[in-house]
Amino acid sequence: MALVSLGLGALIAFALIYAVSYATNRAASRSATTLASTALVGQRIKGFTSPGLFGGTVSAPWSSGHPSVLIFFASWCGPCQGEMPKVAAWVRTHHLGDVRVLGVDANDQQGAARRFVTQDKVGFPVAFDASGNLTAGLFQFQTLPETVFLTRTGRVLSVHFGPIASAQLAAGVSSLGA
């Protein structure tokens, strides 16, 4: 009987240790995302010019005084594959006023990125950030997708980590004065 009690006690202890470890890791992961978001909010982001996905160059819309939505994605990103058709459709069917949307395709192959954008009928300009200079450098994002809402002066109003729902996109655009 003593061996059964000891075995049962060890099993319960193991289960508790596992549960606490799992909860702590999840909380730390959420905390890191919150810290990254908090670090960007309120900062002014310098304007940039980047190669366009289909040639030419694209510039940060706030450089010419436009409130902006930046959508960071890649063709190989599973969550981006679910998000982009909805985002592209929402942007096509809503009046954005002075707000400009700019996609940033990160760490991708140009052919795959072009197919992805064409397939999802993305109508807004897309910067091709093949080396991640904008994504991991200027914005310090380690995961995709991410959406950033910036004022006409380039101040970060908010950051949405992960796939963005239409209602969240609408609220973000509205917060920019559209």
Burial (Cβ within 10 Å: 0-12, 13-18, ≥19) of residue 170:
middle
Give the total number of structural domains in the chain. Answer: 2
Q: Are 67 and 97 members of one domain?
A: yes
Residue ranges making up the domain that contains 12: 1-39
Q: Are 91 and 130 members of one domain?
A: yes
Tell me, what's the pLDDT at 91?
97
106-120 pLDDT per residue, tens: 999 999 999 999 999
What's this model's pTM, rounded to 2 decimal places? 0.79
- Cα angle 153, 157, 163 (rounded to 5 degrees) comes to 125
Tell me, what's the pLDDT at 30?
39
Q: Which parts of the chain register pLDDT below 50?
A: 4, 6, 8-36
Tell me, what's the pLDDT at 39?
87
154 sits in the region (left: phi over 0; alpha: psi -120 to 50; else beta) called: left
